[in-house]
């Protein structure tokens, strides 16, 4: 799914256009293209939903959002690396996998 700016704000009844634009300008969300014809992919919409939840449901202050997003990005990156390690371990012979399990 790819949406334009106004279609993204339509998904969130309490998200004004200027607020979402501010999130993009701050680099919290990185849609494709240039303003005002940004294209939001599913990953961008998920990021908007996350920021929306942080701001509205969890009442996280605007000054704390960059820290929270950075920490979450690090968690997601670690998960991706761990999945790579898991795939590499699974590709090893059984005796190597057994040795790794024993070491853990």
d(CA 88, CA 48): 33
pLDDT at 36: 85
Whether 100 and 80 share a structural domain: yes
pLDDT at 96: 96
Whether 40 and 88 share a structural domain: no
pLDDT at 32: 97
Q: For residue 38, which phi and psi values (nearest 5 degrees)? A: -55, 145
Q: What is the CATH number of the domain that holds 53?
A: 1.10.1660.10
- pLDDT lower than 50: segments of the chain: none
Whether 57 and 72 share a structural domain: no
Instruction: Judge if pTM exceeds 0.85.
Output: no
Q: For residue 48, give the nearest of 8, 100, 3 by alpha carbon.
A: 8
pLDDT at 83: 98
DSSP string, 54-95: HHHTS---TTTHHHHHHHHHHHHHHHHHHHHHHHHHHTS-HH
Whether 75 and 30 share a structural domain: no
Whether 51 and 101 share a structural domain: no
Whether 52 and 26 share a structural domain: yes
Is the peptide bond preceding residue 36 cis, with omega within 30 degrees of 0?
Answer: yes
d(CA 72, CA 19): 21
Whether 49 and 74 share a structural domain: no
Strand pairing report for 3-4 and 39-40: antiparallel
pLDDT tens across 16-37, in order?
999 999 999 999 999 999 988 9
Range of the domain at 44: 1-61
């Amino acid at each position: 799914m790819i949406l334009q700016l106004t279609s993204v704000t339509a998904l969130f009844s309490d998200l004004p256009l200027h607020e979402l634009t501010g999130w993009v300008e701050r680099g919290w969300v990185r849609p494709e293209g240039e303003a005002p014809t940004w294209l939001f992919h599913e990953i961008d919409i998920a990021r908007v939903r996350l920021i929306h939840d942080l701001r509205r449901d969890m009442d996280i202050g605007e000054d704390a959002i960059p820290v929270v997003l950075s920490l979450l990005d690090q968690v997601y990156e670690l998960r991706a690396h761990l999945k790579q390690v898991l795939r590499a371990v699974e590709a090893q012979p059984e005796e190597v996998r057994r040795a790794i399990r024993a070491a853990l």
